[in-house]
């Protein structure tokens, strides 16, 4: 493993007694590395990223970053809230993606409360930032436990009604970043439904059963099994998986965590268990990685060399009254929690 | 039985007002389908170690997608394959400007390569076995190239699993010629996944580096000590991600012309290029050619947007091409072997893809 050059930001490493280590950057609240053992105790960094901070600024496809103020897409970058029309930057085809051109992933967050196993990062997004209303105060606390769990706890408060959707865009490769494709990873998603999209990847509003489709990961399945199924237009739109899965049993009235996804790499035995209190998870198979980026170990990332499990509210919710609300009012606190738990089998 | 080669001829639709024909060559153990449109190799059904045939050639199951812009699946490219940069060259004191279909250079012969035309077809024989001879005439001035070029390409399949491509091209004025076939191979079967696990060996001690536009610079560089050294067999997926070499990075993987090792006294004889193995199925392929170079391309630009013959989407790295050829940009690189063809001496080129199982000579 190479040594990370943090020039331009601050880097913080969390560790535990079991050999696991996580490096967090102040810029973008980025998870730069997650080093975990395999079934033989061999350590590897299982998240994609760069070995120099400057590359995160120049060309990162959101590697490891916290995305917001609105993670994922808003159709046309437009929404109506409290009778007012808002326009946010259109930066992804006809849509707004991950909060706009200068989203939370491109901000220098303020760090506080780092004690070696936990760190809190804060960011203030001003009223009108990227077109969104309300001064939003955001925090994320990363905590590494002795159980090899990386916990992500988000909060946000506002002084005017706004919309909020926060997620982390880490790309995982449990064989080690740069080791090759993730299409042989075995994946299980606790989602009986997914959100079909249009050609620009905006959910149509339909909540479709996964049964009988390539989107059925209710039982463990190798990712590559159906990812080339050209009969399914949804796969074609995403050039693979790039869809929100609707997590079973979610309730707006409960903040309980439930297991969303279990990913296993047969080669190394490493397993990632994702738990969240969010209603959805965007399962993205690195379809737009194309061999342009060289990662932290000096290896090129090709299509499908990483996968994301972006726990989140549904894309385009501000324009879909049927989706769980993403509105945040003054006096209320947005909270969400996700756990990336690592083990080996 | 196994040594009897048959050929079936059928109509396959219409394009540009002409009937497109399909020829299926079969030797009892493997078969190859050729289209008269673009002189395209549509299918190659080769046996695995258990004798089970699979189509190892990326492409489409119908004619229609071949009539649109596609990544030259199985197609013959010309008049000058690969990249010519700048998009002009000098020949006998005259400068010829050719179609600049990419910024700063001309790719694969110009706006309308030879794979976007109907070819004529006739039955012939090679070594006593049925074969198909396809013909195409590129007029004087076509895409800016001088001379009427009359091209013939004969596809034959031998009882010993050799798919042979014999090109002949004659001209009525001096011109430059570089013809190749852009077939994409996946020995586990097209649409089955990545070729990362395939093993590659190349009889090539040098390659020709390129600039950022992937136009050859004129350098001829030893592969020794570089990521391009495939003189000993290597797993392809390991090489494709090795970012230490800026040449590999700028192509986003393998997409380079290798110089085929060749005895100096055999300038146009058919020599081995290399071989490919899929350890999973046991299918292997040898390539041999009379050409000086081979473009080894790991399908870096496939991106999951095209559904192929089996209805499966082709993702980055789902195939590998062996485009036997003159060195790219030779008309602008005087130190490269000449690609000039004159009326008194037709262009001749032969490439053989041989399908087998395992690498019997050195594998335990």
Residue B242's closest chain A neighbor by CA? Answer: A299
Contact between B253 and A291 using a beta-carbon 8 Å cutoff: yes
Say what the pLDDT of residue A3 is.
Answer: 81
Write the Ramachandran bin of A3: left for phi over 0, alpha for psi from -120 to 50, otherwise beta.
Answer: beta
Please give the share of chain A, as a percent, with pLDDT higher than 90: 97
For the question of residue B72 being annotated catalytic, the response is no
* Contact residues for B119 (Cβ-Cβ < 8 A; gap 6+): B36, B37, B38, B39, B134, B135, B136, B153
C-alpha neighbours within 13 Å on the C-beta side of residue A175: 16
Say what the pLDDT of residue B358 is.
Answer: 80
For the question of residue A310 being annotated catalytic, the response is yes
**Best to test chain B binding among A2, A49, A50, A181 (most B CBs inside 10 Å):** A181
Say what the pLDDT of residue A112 is.
Answer: 84
Say what the pLDDT of residue A114 is.
Answer: 81
Helix (H), strand (E) at residue B239: helix B236-240
Task: List the single residue in A178, A180, A303 with the smallest CB-CB distance to B303.
Answer: A303
Residue B270 to chain A, least CA–CA distance (Å): 34
Interface of A with B in 151-180 (CB under 8 A): 178, 180
Cα B154 to chain centroid, rounded: 14
Is residue B240 within 8 A of residue B199, CB to CB? The reply is: no
Contact between B193 and A228 using a beta-carbon 8 Å cutoff: yes
Q: What is the pTM of this model?
A: 0.94
Is the N-terminal amide bond of A251 cis, ω within 30° of 0? no
Contact between A239 and B303 using a beta-carbon 8 Å cutoff: yes
* Residue numbers in chain A where pLDDT is lower than 50: none
Contact between A181 and B307 using a beta-carbon 8 Å cutoff: no
Say what the pLDDT of residue B265 is.
Answer: 80
* Cα dihedral B170→B171→B175→B176 (10° resolution): -20
Is residue B103 within 8 A of residue B5, CB to CB? The reply is: no
* Annotated catalytic residue, options B161, B182, B198, B199: B182
The tens place of each residue's pLDDT in chain B, 364 residues long, gives 446 999 999 999 999 999 999 999 999 999 999 999 999 999 999 999 999 999 999 999 999 999 999 999 999 999 999 999 999 999 999 999 999 999 999 999 999 999 999 999 999 999 999 999 999 999 999 999 999 999 999 999 999 999 999 999 999 999 999 999 999 999 999 999 999 999 999 999 999 999 999 999 999 999 999 999 999 999 999 999 998 899 999 999 999 999 999 988 877 899 999 999 999 999 999 999 999 999 999 999 999 999 999 999 999 999 999 999 999 999 999 999 999 999 999 999 999 999 999 865 443 3
């Amino acid at each position: 493993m190479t040594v990370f050059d943090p020039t331009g930001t601050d880097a913080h490493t969390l560790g535990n007694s079991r050999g696991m280590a996580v490096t967090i950057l102040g810029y973008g609240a980025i998870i730069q590395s997650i080093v975990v053992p395999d079934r033989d105790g061999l350590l590897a960094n299982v998240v994609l990223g760069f070995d120099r901070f400057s590359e995160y600024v120049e060309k990162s496809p959101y590697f490891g970053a916290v995305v917001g103020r609105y993670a994922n897409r808003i159709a046309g970058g437009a929404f109506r809230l409290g009778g007012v029309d808002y326009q946010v930057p259109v930066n992804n085809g006809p849509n707004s993606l991950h909060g706009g051109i200068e989203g939370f992933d491109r901000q220098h967050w303020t760090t506080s409360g780092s004690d070696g196993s936990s760190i809190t990062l804060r960011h203030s997004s001003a009223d009108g930032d990227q077109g969104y209303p309300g001064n939003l105060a955001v925090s994320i606390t990363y905590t590494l436990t002795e159980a090899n769990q990386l916990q992500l706890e988000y909060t946000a408060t506002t002084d005017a009604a706004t919309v909020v959707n926060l997620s982390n865009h880490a790309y995982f490769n449990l064989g080690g970043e740069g080791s090759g494709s993730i299409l042989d990873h075995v994946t299980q998603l606790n989602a009986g439904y997914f959100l079909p999209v249009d050609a620009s990847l905006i959910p149509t509003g339909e909540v479709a059963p996964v049964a009988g489709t390539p989107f059925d990961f209710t039982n463990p399945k190798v990712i590559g099994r159906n990812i080339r199924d050209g009969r399914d237009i949804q796969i074609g739109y995403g050039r693979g998986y790039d869809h929100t899965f609707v997590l079973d049993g979610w309730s707006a009235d409960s903040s309980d965590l439930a297991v969303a996804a279990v990913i296993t790499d047969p080669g190394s035995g490493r397993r990632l268990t994702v738990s969240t209190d969010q209603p959805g998870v965007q399962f993205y198979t690195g379809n737009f990685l194309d061999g342009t980026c060289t990662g932290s170990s000096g290896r090129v990332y090709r299509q499908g060399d990483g996968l994301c499990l972006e726990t989140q509210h549904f894309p385009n919710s501000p324009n879909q009254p049927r989706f769980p609300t993403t509105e945040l009012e003054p006096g209320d606190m947005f909270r969400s929690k996700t756990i990336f738990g690592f083990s080996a089998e | 039985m196994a040594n009897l080669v048959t050929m079936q001829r059928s109509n396959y639709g219409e394009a540009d007002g002409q009937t497109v024909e399909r020829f299926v060559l079969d030797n009892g153990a493997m078969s190859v389908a050729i289209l008269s449109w673009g002189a395209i190799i549509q299918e190659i059904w080769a046996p695995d170690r258990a004798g089970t045939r699979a189509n190892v050639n990326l492409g489409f199951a119908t004619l229609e997608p071949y009539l649109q812009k596609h990544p030259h699946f199985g197609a013959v490219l010309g008049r000058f394959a690969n990249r010519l940069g700048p998009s002009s060259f000098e020949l006998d004191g005259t400068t010829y400007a050719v179609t600049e279909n990419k910024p700063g250079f001309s790719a694969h012969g110009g706006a309308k390569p030879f794979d976007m035309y109907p070819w004529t077809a006739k039955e012939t024989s090679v070594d006593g076995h049925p074969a198909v001879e396809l013909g195409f005439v590129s007029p004087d001035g076509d895409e800016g190239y001088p001379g009427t070029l009359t091209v013939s390409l004969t596809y034959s399949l031998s009882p010993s699993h050799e798919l042979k491509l014999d090109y002949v091209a004659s001209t009525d004025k001096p011109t430059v010629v570089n013809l190749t076939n852009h077939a994409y191979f996946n020995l586990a079967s097209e649409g089955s996944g990545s070729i990362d696990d395939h093993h590659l060996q190349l009889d090539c001690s040098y390659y020709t580096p390129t600039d950022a536009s992937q136009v050859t610079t004129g350098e001829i560089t030893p592969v020794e000590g570089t990521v391009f050294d495939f003189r000993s067999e290597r797993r392809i997926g390991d090489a494709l991600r090795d970012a230490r070499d800026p040449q590999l990075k700028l192509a986003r993987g393998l997409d380079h012309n290798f110089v085929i090792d060749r005895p100096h006294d055999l300038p146009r004889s058919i020599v081995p290029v290399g071989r490919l193995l899929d350890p999973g199925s046991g299918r292997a392929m040898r390539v041999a050619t009379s050409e000086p170079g081979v473009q080894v391309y790991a399908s870096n630009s496939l991106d999951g947007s095209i559904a192929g013959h089996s209805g499966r989407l082709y993702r980055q790295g789902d195939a590998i091409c062996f485009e036997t050829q003159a060195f790219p940009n030779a008309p602008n690189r005087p130190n490269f072997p000449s690609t000039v063809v004159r009326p008194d001496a037709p262009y001749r080129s032969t490439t053989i893809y041989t399908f087998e199982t395992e690498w019997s000579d050195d594998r335990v």
